[in-house]
Amino acid sequence: MSTRIDPETAPGIEPPAPAGAERNYFKRDLIGSVVVIALIAFGMEAWSWVAPVYIMPSIVLTGDEILTILVEDYIHIVTTILRLLFAVAFSLVAGSLIGVVMGIVRPAEPFIKALVVIFTGVPALSWMLFAIFWFRGTEERVFFILAVILIPFYALNVYDGIKALSTDLVEVVETFRPSRWQVFRLLILPHIVPYILMTTKSIIGYAARMTAFAELVSVNTGMGARMGLAQDELNMQGVIGWTILLVIVNLGVQAIVAWAEKRLLKWRPEVSVR
Amino acid sequence: MTRAVIELDRVDRYFGAHPAVLDLSFAVMEGEIVALLGRTGAGKSTALHMIMGVLEPTGGTVRVEGLDPYAQFKALRGKLSVSFQNDRLLPWRSAWENVALGLDILGFDRETQRSRAIEWLENVKIVGAENVRKYPHELSGGMRQRVSLARALCVDPALVLLDESFSQLDHVTSKALRADFTELVRRLGKTCVLITHRIDDALEMADRILVLAAPARLALEVRVTRAGRADPGWLEAQHAAIAAAMGGEDEDRGEAA
């Protein structure tokens, strides 16, 4: 979306880069990524010439393994993606609601805040071990681990967002005498959307890694579990193949979040500081 | 002018031991444009907040349309609206959606909201499909303030309150906007209270000027007629009298000139 900012009324703020400049940035990033990927591939291939296959397999072997995974084991990729998306979606809703309650219900604020902060201090590994003891079902275990790790991020960021709500905007909405639900729908919800998206953007990569880790520790399905199996069988090309696919899944999910952000926050000015 | 839309009767408002408003009484009649004029700290914003119903008076009574705006806050829904010093547009809503904010709260369907908002944007001289869809950051300062005024008028309120609505704009934009707004409010027969610290703004727009001196008490009342407004000598004399009642020169006059 194009934006117009008058430099005279907004000193220190430059208009956003024109579309041509944006394309140049994209081209530069693309070239950079291709070069880095080629260098990593070349490094791995060169290493495979001197190292045994259980240390560093060749690119061809790894490529074959990836193809095999995509044909025979794709269900584990789908399982991991669904677990990740479901847990993130649930955490987004639950964490945001907790953040809203923390932000607007004054008597509850110190108690919920203390609980959330304590939860953030519990190591992820402890939650994984608790999950193994507490839940028999594999899906419940992964879901629990991801939810307890992700919910506090949403809760704290949404809480901060509500604290940053402009009193000017509250006052202008209140002049029309809205109900509490209307204040939430018209003011609080749109105001916290950037905070929710920012949190999702920050945690999605971490959540993808945590999903694989939780699968490795607590279940026998999904990309993490299959990676663990490959390691047990000293199948290094399998470990690398699953890793590459995890990176691709991670980048794909991040691209979806970036797309959602661009659509939902189209009202925000794009500015650059001199 | 048949009935009082606003009535303040011996109103006090203290913040701790500090009186912001002291024994203030006045009434605003239907269809009247009244300016509350005073220096910074004279208590005019405190008086406005009590009329809006967001601040409770320490003593005395405030009535808007016969209701207590603080105790009967919700009862004044749709009857009162405010335009502030800065535009206070919701950044995630386009120009027309900002104008339709009050209609949304009053429960109008989206199509009615849109058509009425566009009509009001045209009334404040913002026209064209492209402009009505723009977000606040894509509008100039003057256009944003026009949207803010359209938002205040769109719910068809009995009473419009303006809190220094023109003071942050440059002189030329402010003058044009004041003229457009005054013409619109007079044409619609709205009751309007204008809070300002600029004597020239008050003399240009208001039917009656209530000069407040700190803590907010009535220091002078001036009736402005069409004939008086057209007479430079009368205007100059009133300007001097008001400045004296406010306790000094009009700090914005040099800037405005």
Question: Is there a contact between A228 and A216 (Cβ–Cβ < 8 Å)?
Answer: yes
| Closest by Cα among B87, B10, B8 to B53 | B8
In order, the DSSP letters of chain B are --SEEEEEEEEEEEETTEEEEEEEEEEEETT-EEEEE--TTSSHHHHHHHHHTSS--SEEEEEETTB-TTTTGGGGTTTEEEE-SS----TTS-HHHHHTHHHHHHT--HHHHHHHHHHHHHHTT--SHHHHT--GGGS-HHHHHHHHHHHHHHT--SEEEEESTTTTS-HHHHHHHHHHHHHHHHHHT-EEEEEES-HHHHHHH-SEEEEEETTBEEEEEEE--HHHHT-HHHHHHHHHHHHHHHTS--TTHHHH-
Question: In this complex, which of B76, B137, B141 lies closest to A177 when CB atoms are compared?
Answer: B76
Question: In this complex, which of A3, A9, A172 lies closest to B141 when CB atoms are compared?
Answer: A9
End-to-end CA distance of chain B: 34
**pLDDT, mean of residues A255-271:** 86
Q: Pairing mode, if any, of strands B191-196 and B159-163?
A: parallel
Distance (Å, whole) CA B82 – CA B153: 9
* pLDDT tens per residue across span A114-154: 999 999 899 988 998 999 899 988 889 999 999 999 999 99
Contacts of B55 in chain A (CB under 8 A): none
* pLDDT tens per residue across span A59-108: 999 999 999 999 999 999 999 999 999 999 999 999 999 999 999 998 99
Would you state the structure tokens that stand for residue B144, as one six-digit string? Answer: 């944003």
Predicted local distance difference test score (pLDDT) of residue B245: 86
Contacts of B104 in chain A (CB under 8 A): 182, 186
Q: Is A168 on the interface with B (CB under 8 A)?
A: yes
Question: In this complex, which of B84, B94, B138 lies closest to A172 when CB atoms are compared?
Answer: B84
- Closest chain B residue by Cα to residue A2: B138
* pLDDT tens per residue across span B142-162: 889 889 999 999 999 989 999
**pLDDT, mean of residues A230-259:** 91
Q: Which residues contact A267 (CB under 8 A, 6 or more apart)?
A: B91, B92, B93, B94, B135, B137
Residue scoring higher pLDDT (A218 or B75): B75
* pLDDT tens per residue across span A229-243: 999 988 999 999 999
Predicted local distance difference test score (pLDDT) of residue A6: 43
- Closest chain B residue by Cα to residue A178: B105
Q: Is A187 on the interface with B (CB under 8 A)?
A: yes
List of long-range contacts for B54-58, beta carbons under 8 Å, 24+ apart: B54/A171, B54/A174, B55/B13, B57/B11, B57/B12, B57/B13, B57/B21, B58/B12, B58/B13, B58/B14
Q: Pairing mode, if any, of strands B80-83 and B18-29?
A: unpaired
Residue ranges per structural domain of chain B = 87-156
The pLDDT profile of chain B, 257 residues, written as one tens digit per residue, is 478 999 999 999 999 888 888 889 999 999 999 999 988 888 888 999 999 999 999 999 999 999 999 999 999 998 999 999 888 999 999 999 999 999 999 999 999 999 999 999 998 888 888 889 999 999 988 889 889 999 999 999 989 999 988 877 788 888 888 888 888 888 888 999 999 988 988 998 999 999 988 766 788 889 988 888 888 898 899 899 998 888 766 555 544 43
Question: In this complex, which of B92, B105, B138 lies closest to A3 when CB atoms are compared?
Answer: B138
Contacts of A9 in chain B (CB under 8 A): 140-141
| Closest by Cα among A201, A198, A192, A271 to A1 | A271
Q: Is there a contact between A177 and B52 if contact means CB atoms under 8 Å apart?
A: no
Q: Is A180 on the interface with B (CB under 8 A)?
A: no
Would you state the structure tokens that stand for residue A40, as one six-digit string? Answer: 């990593």
Q: Is there a contact between A186 and B102 if contact means CB atoms under 8 Å apart?
A: no
Contacts of A269 in chain B (CB under 8 A): 135, 137-138
Residue ranges per structural domain of chain A = 57-269
What would the CATH number be for the domain defined by A57-269?
Answer: 1.10.3720.10
* pLDDT tens per residue across span A161-190: 999 999 999 999 999 999 999 999 999 999
Q: Is there a contact between A3 and B137 if contact means CB atoms under 8 Å apart?
A: yes
Question: In this complex, which of A5, A182, A267 lies closest to B92 when CB atoms are compared?
Answer: A267
Q: How high does pLDDT run on average in chain B?
A: 88
Question: Is there a contact between B199 and B205 (Cβ–Cβ < 8 Å)?
Answer: no
DSSP state of A221: S
Please check the confidence at residue A199 and state whether its pLDDT lies above 90.
yes
- DSSP H or E run through A234: none
Choose from B70, B101, B131, B149 for mutation: most chain A CBs within 10 A.
B101
Q: Is there a contact between B88 and A169 if contact means CB atoms under 8 Å apart?
A: yes
Distance (Å, whole) CA A172 – CA A168: 6
* pLDDT tens per residue across span B185-213: 888 889 999 999 889 889 989 999 999 88
Contacts of A191 in chain B (CB under 8 A): 92
